[in-house]
Structure 1
Amino acid sequence: MTRTSSSNTTRWRTRSRCAAKAPLWTAKRSSPCTGCIFKGSQGKEVSSGGAPNTARLFPATTRTQMTTQPSDQLERPHGAENITWNLDDLYSSVEEADRDLEKAAQQATEFASTYRGRVAELDAGALTQAIGRFEALQDLLGRVDAFAYLRWSADTGKPEHGAFLQKVREASSRLIQSLLFFELEWMLLPEEHANTLLTAPDVSRYRHYLEVQLLFRQHVLTEPEEKILAEKSVNGIGAWTRYFDQMLAALKFNFRGQPLSEQEVLSKLQESDRSVRRDAALALSKGLGTRLPDLTFVFNTVLAEKASDDRLRRYPHWLSARNLSNQVSDETVEALVKAVSGRFDLSARYYRLKGKLLQIEPLEDFDRYAPVKTGTEETGWFFTWEEAREVVLSAYQSFHPVFGETARRFFDSEWIDAAIRDGKRGGAFSHGVVPSAHPFILMNYTGKLRDVQTLAHEMGHGIHQYLSRKQGALQASTPLTMAETASVFGEMLTFRSLIERAQKPAVRLSMLMSKIDDTMATVFRQIAMNGFEDSIHKARRAEGELSSDRFGELWIQNQEAMFQGSVKLNTHYATWWSYIPHFVHTPGYVYAYAFGELLVLSLYQVYTEQGDAFVEKYVRLLEAGGSDWPERLLAETGVDVKD
């Protein structure tokens, strides 16, 4: 991936956090609607919290003096305990959402009555009008689905939340079945006729959406077959992914006699006290062990369903469907994986260096995210919620006023849920909801430096989702390969702001090591996780149902390939594959993090060279959402993704 001359410009397109996405029949395998589950689920041990696997969803300040506290004081109040979102912008009650669900059902019936069997007869103007109605219906249905999912995510323990979510999912499945004909009829048009329509000026607004559908024409089934698959997905794979989420949200980990949530125990892997890290790792492993048979069964079920789906749709490789949705070739992804895995020696060198700085040789698995301290300096920064807010707002405001203003709306308008509480799902995500509404951010704030970076990351997603709303429900979002662009770029901006505030060399060293930890996790670890995912999909198809030990064996094998002896992996670590949601929600997701990180490094390099000249190009990139092919949009910024 290289930078190009600014004169080499064209335009681009993207995936489905919300739109410009794969067809309706692929919705059950679509990527998380937000495109983010933050890095721990990217691969760092942060949390299993994932984004929903829903049908058709969108996608000069003052400086604060950071407070430092020893690690044993990090549980003190931070001010995020009461930071919760207000979903009234979507619906003020379940009854109101129910009415829109009924409205969507009526609109779907009318749409099918008008257009079923007639798509081939539509001229460009009539086709555009039909797509407009189809898009409005997607927006309405997506709003209800988002409300149900966000309400459930905030408290998975309430039966009424789960019941309403399931009701919406089942209703959505029925509506999707009634609408399948529309995209199927378009995909089955003779190629010459389809190309004629694509060149018509009237179709220009939706051209890329239509182009993306044609990518899948070799993999669609008949409408009755597609209806059967859509029907079974809600109470099949959809039910298993929900069970996975609820199981982990309810799980408690016994840390030194205290029952902690997954998020809380994972955060202790970042403590400076090695005994705390060790005990946290053991607590995590023991807790996962209590549900390992169930988690193993869920994984086997997901793997078997994916194999069945690939076989029915004639995909040559378990990753082919994901690559097509990401708008990249199998060969391009293979080249990425080979390029990164071919330099695992860099990862090993880094962890050996970190071991020397920590005076722990070799590092053990629970040492990887330990903060690096030099001399007597305490670098375990503690941030109140207000301090974190100021840091993130300052970073985005300094880049562009639109970014700062948009970020401020999230804080001021109650679009963020940051409090940790029983029943709330772990991790972090930004849910794009639908273009007619606005995004919402969920995270679990504990006051650590990484939480500030998490907030910056999710805010990047939120800004991207907010700016791309103008593209509408069918083209607002990006493929996975582009989904992390704004989030990781936002992290870079925030990191720069933070390190500029750090005056002492020891603090700067600690921050740089933490940032490199992030990069190692986002690039090298993700490719190692892709290797694990590749192994389990192939093994499930060749060997049948896999045991927990077999999963653990393949996990350790792929992790050791990355560390090359620089990190000792203990036996307890063999179960840590079991809480990562991407493997369940979105098979094939993880390589996109490596792609996205490398892409952002290229974009950030252009920014450092061009300064303000780059900023407006970047704003246009985010506003474009999924309205063109990725390489075209990126070319306008000076980046060539094919090189």
Structure 2
Amino acid sequence: MDKTKETKPEVFWDLTPLYTSFADPKLEADKKTLVEFCDHLLAQASALAAADSPVDACNRYLTTYNQALLLLDKLYNYGSLTYAVNTADSAALNLVEVLEGYFPKLSLAEAHFKMWLKELPDFNALLTAKELQAFHFYLNSARQSAAHTLSTAEEELFALLQNTGGNAWSKLQDQTVASLTGHFRGEDLVLSALRAKAYDQDPAVRREAYEAELACYPKMDTVSAACLNAIKGEAITAAAKRGYDSVLDMTLQKSHMDKETLQAMLTAMEESLPAFRKYFRKKAELLGHKNGLPFYDLFAPVGEVSMEYSYEQAKQYVIDNFSQFSPELGEFAAHAFAHDWIDVYPRKGKVSGAFCSEIKSLEESRIMTNFDGSLSDVYTLAHELGHGFHNYCMKGVAPVNSDSPMQLAETASIFCETIVANASLKEASPQEKVVILENDIMSTAQVIVDILSRYYFESELIEKRQNGSLSVDELKAAMIRAQKRTYGDGLDENYLHPYMWMCKPHYYSSNLNFYNFPYAFGELFAKGLYALYAKEGAGFVPKYKELLRSTGSRSTHDVLAIVGMDSHSPEFFRGSLALTIAKIEEWLKLV
């Protein structure tokens, strides 16, 4: 395709299918209905033990619970999505905070339900009931998690305190990072715009943007450190009080993933590091560096071809190549573009990064990007649309069966990214192939090498946080240690990124911990799936859709078993990594 960059029009997502504004009468009516649902749900949960028919009582509870989740999803998406692209919108923030006030009621009802399941004499009667057949996995998981459920009063208090604790710290971090600007060549740029310059053709621009980025963090680093310490401190307390061995153990159990799977993956990732370091050193050499690659050149373009894209070009390219996998996937992407599901460009007040949010009540998704025209941005667009397709495959699935664990939530996104990356390689000229291969390797290096560094960092952070809060200097030092451990001699140790803990939002969720290794799992699982698709062709597509539909209702090990994969074996992960290692060797020969 023609890779000429065009003038950028504004492209915002359309939230009017939810509500027309914060003054929309439907919004107020739905808030009142949500209160009624929550009160009704709590009453049902409290009366479970006295019910004559456990099956009927369970069915009624799940019906109300799913209805409440759908309505909460609708309201919360409107507030949080509006806030994500304008963190100065006080009405959006107010709605989010009001809705968070309902979480304690839902948590309390859920606690009642879990304890009832735990104490129910004939639990198997629920599993044999026809009307509850679709909820077997959810019911079993809920009963197992009851072992980590506190008393009703404690659960209620914990849920209430979380709104003024972890959730509040998380919002403060969003506001902090969204407000950061760095002075670059006579103008103040938001953080996401500064970081986007890491892909610029001009080496001076890349270095100056890196220096401007690092210079802006000290303005607010003590605030971010306080947020991070508070959020991880809360996680440590929650894990201990609930009887988990550790925060990691809590994360794995909630994710329906076992330690054997995680260890098998980490083993294969660590074994692959020498190959990635070889790539980093060669890239450094090509860019004129003698002591490894400086962090500001990690994303530097390599090759004579300028790979820049307008948004319109990126859209069509994604649609065309998705359609090669299946017409349904291409039609899905075209529908998302045509119906304004995507908020595209960076602007002040908009949070950094990219994400896809499922709107279960509409059976739609909304996607936020900070598109700046790089090949990486095209891959990001495909990645987030992959999340949207995953949501699309779950149409009609009840909310309680739609909650995919972190590591499986990345499957479709990385699969779709792989479709676009492999397509671009096939049609590339020799010069373009060097660029595209390098971008592919660079992207995978982030998901394997950098993600591993983030896993090491969070592991150290949580271990040390048990003895007290970490200072800004301690957090920076821990990040540098983690980067040296994974990147090794591939990077110039004088130019690392000590503030990576501050700019990555994944560390700051009060309910998610270790949101790093799931990306690596998704990468390796998706590429393993793509290899199966390459062998099986169109016959693979129905199996793939069914797999995506099941990610919220099976364990990770069982989901992989659908396509004959063993998650406990490092060999599975080694096989996926071998695909990237082969690309590294091919690229080294070309350059």
TM-score by length of 1: 0.84
| Count of residue pairs brought into register by the alignment | 563
Matched, 1:611 2:537: yes
Deviation at 1:582, TM superposition (A): 1.0
Choose which of 15, 20, 28 in structure 2 pairs with 1:92.
20
Deviation at 1:593, TM superposition (A): 0.9
| Aligned CA distance change for structure 1 residues 307 and 181 (closer, same or farther; 3 Å) | closer
Choose which of 142, 161, 179 in structure 1 pairs with 2:73.
142
Q: Which moved more, 1:565-574 or 1:437-446?
A: 565-574
RMSD: 1.9
Matched, 1:568 2:496: no
Which residue matches 2:501?
Answer: 577
Deviation at 1:611, TM superposition (A): 1.0
Matched, 1:533 2:533: no
User: How big is each residue's C-alpha offset from its partner over 1:222-264, in whole Å with a ceiling of 9 and x where there is no partner?
Assistant: 0110000000111111000000001111111111222111111
Matched, 1:112 2:37: no
Query: Which runs of structure 2 are paired with 1:413-562 in the superposition (5 Å)?
Result: 413-502=339-428, 504-542=429-467, 544-562=468-486
Matched, 1:358 2:282: no
User: Residue 183 of structure 2: SS of its match in structure 1?
Assistant: strand
User: Residue 395 of structure 2: SS of its match in structure 1?
Assistant: helix
Deviation at 1:272, TM superposition (A): 2.4
Q: Percent identity?
A: 26
Deviation at 1:182, TM superposition (A): 4.1
User: Residue 432 of structure 1: SS of its match in structure 2?
Assistant: strand
Query: Which runs of structure 2 are paired with 1:319-330 in the superposition (5 Å)?
Result: 319-330=248-259
User: Residue 259 of structure 1: SS of its match in structure 2?
Assistant: strand
User: Residue 482 of structure 1: SS of its match in structure 2?
Assistant: helix
Query: Which runs of structure 2 are paired with 1:261-410 in the superposition (5 Å)?
Result: 261-361=190-290, 362-373=292-303, 377=304, 379-410=305-336
Q: Which moved more, 1:325-334 or 1:402-411?
A: 325-334
Which residue matches 2:558?
Answer: 632
**Distance (whole Å) between structure 2 residues aligned to residue 348 and residue 385 of structure 1:** 33
Query: Which runs of structure 2 are paired with 1:21-36 in the superposition (5 Å)?
Result: none
Q: What amino acid does structure 2 have at the position aligned with 1:568?
A: D
**Distance (whole Å) between structure 1 residues aligned to residue 362 and residue 297 of structure 2:** 45
| Aligned CA distance change for structure 1 residues 309 and 634 (closer, same or farther; 3 Å) | same
Deviation at 1:571, TM superposition (A): 6.0
Deviation at 1:572, TM superposition (A): 6.7
Which residue matches 2:161?
Answer: 232
Matched, 1:173 2:103: yes
**Distance (whole Å) between structure 2 residues aligned to residue 184 and residue 636 of structure 1:** 29
Report if the CA contact (8 A) 1:380-1:448 is conserved.
no
Which residue matches 1:48?
Answer: none
Deviation at 1:176, TM superposition (A): 2.0
Report if the CA contact (8 A) 2:48-2:116 is conserved.
no
| Aligned CA distance change for structure 1 residues 272 and 109 (closer, same or farther; 3 Å) | same
Compare relative contact order (CA 8 Å, sep 6+) and give the higher one, 1 or 2: 1
| Aligned CA distance change for structure 1 residues 634 and 335 (closer, same or farther; 3 Å) | closer
User: Residue 474 of structure 1: SS of its match in structure 2?
Assistant: helix
Choose which of 176, 183, 197 in structure 1 pairs with 2:126.
197
Deviation at 1:206, TM superposition (A): 1.1
Deviation at 1:344, TM superposition (A): 2.2
Q: What amino acid does structure 2 have at the position aligned with 1:551?
A: L
**Distance (whole Å) between structure 2 residues aligned to residue 174 and residue 351 of structure 1:** 48
Report if the CA contact (8 A) 1:415-1:440 is conserved.
yes
**Distance (whole Å) between structure 2 residues aligned to residue 183 and residue 357 of structure 1:** 61
**Distance (whole Å) between structure 2 residues aligned to residue 186 and residue 590 of structure 1:** 34
Q: Which runs of 5+ in 2 are unaligned?
A: 570-591
Which residue matches 1:184?
Answer: 114
Q: What amino acid does structure 2 have at the position aligned with 1:549?
A: D
Query: Which runs of structure 2 are paired with 1:126-141 in the superposition (5 Å)?
Result: 126-141=57-72
Matched, 1:206 2:135: yes
Report if the CA contact (8 A) 1:488-1:597 is conserved.
yes
Report if the CA contact (8 A) 2:111-2:155 is conserved.
no
Report if the CA contact (8 A) 2:408-2:551 is conserved.
no
**Distance (whole Å) between structure 2 residues aligned to residue 569 and residue 289 of structure 1:** 21
Report if the CA contact (8 A) 1:364-1:568 is conserved.
yes
Deviation at 1:468, TM superposition (A): 0.6
Deviation at 1:467, TM superposition (A): 1.7
* Structure 1 outlier segments of 4+, above 4 Å: none
Which residue matches 2:172?
Answer: 243
Report if the CA contact (8 A) 1:417-1:442 is conserved.
yes
**Distance (whole Å) between structure 2 residues aligned to residue 133 and residue 459 of structure 1:** 31
| Aligned CA distance change for structure 1 residues 178 and 480 (closer, same or farther; 3 Å) | closer
Which residue matches 1:595?
Answer: 521
Report if the CA contact (8 A) 1:365-1:570 is conserved.
no
**Distance (whole Å) between structure 2 residues aligned to residue 540 and residue 115 of structure 1:** 36
